[in-house]
Chain A
Amino acid sequence: GENVEQHPSTLSVQEGDSAVIKCTYSDSASNYFPWYKQELGKGPQLIIDIRSNVGEKKDQRIAVTLNKTAKHFSLHITETQPEDSAVYFCAASLGSSASKIIFGSGTRLSIRP
């Protein structure tokens, strides 16, 4: 079946440095790619998403890039802060509809003071 692979599973960066999380997907028809942040004891929170007609999207300190040819997409967090510590999940739509998405296995990001 279709799947989404996410790397790394854990990531520790110094406060103020950048963090990058990478995902690959298998469904060539996927065209919607959301990213979620999940803090302990809470549900996943949508932080940014991108559609296949765009190669890059930025929102303040976070950005997402998409390479449809290679079926890769990445999350970039710049100037990391302690509150960025959480588990991050990438996801990709099955086909063109955002109503069916498959999640990656998550990346636990820790920000060192």
Chain B
Amino acid sequence: EAGVVQSPRYKIIEKKQPVAFWCNPISGHNTLYWYLQNLGQGPELLIRYENEEAVDDSQLPKDRFSAERLKGVDSTLKIQPAELGDSAVYLCASSLDGREQYFGPGTRLTVT
């Protein structure tokens, strides 16, 4: 069974530029999560989807971050415009009916 797929794996952009990350969850998993992981810290939830619906986005900085999960499968997380402080690893995870969460490899973002 294929795991959670994320792309790109690495991204370097200049500040004020836009960037987008893509996630394909484990087949059949209805819950999808986006996490932010700063260096030396644990993941922090940005947004959680149940199928197409964002049920928890309280930690998503909505002035510059947006996300979508069309058709309840793949998801895209966007930052526009990016700031230096956005440099981090962006992790996607999925689960079935709110059970164990399985993580993808992450996208390492560097903003210069």
The A22-52 residues at the B interface (CB cut-off 8 A) are: 34, 36, 41-46, 49
Cβ contact within 8 Å between A105 and B41: yes
Q: For window 64-112 of chain B, which residues contact chain A by CB distance below 8 Å?
A: 91, 93, 95, 98-106
* Interface majority SS (helix, strand, loop, mixed), chain B: loop
A91 to B93, CA, bound (A): 14
Contact B42–A89 (Cβ < 8 Å): yes
Contacts of B42 in A (CB 8 A): 4, 89, 91, 103-106
Give me the interface of B with A, judged by CB distance under 8 Å.
4, 31, 40-45, 48, 56, 91, 93, 95, 98-106
Interchain residue pairs with CB less than 8 A apart (26): A34-B100, A34-B101, A36-B103, A41-B105, A43-B104, A43-B105, A44-B91, A44-B103, A45-B103, A46-B102, A49-B100, A98-B95, A98-B99, A98-B100, A98-B101, A99-B48, A99-B98, A100-B45, A100-B56, A101-B101, A103-B42, A104-B42, A105-B40, A105-B41, A106-B40, A106-B42
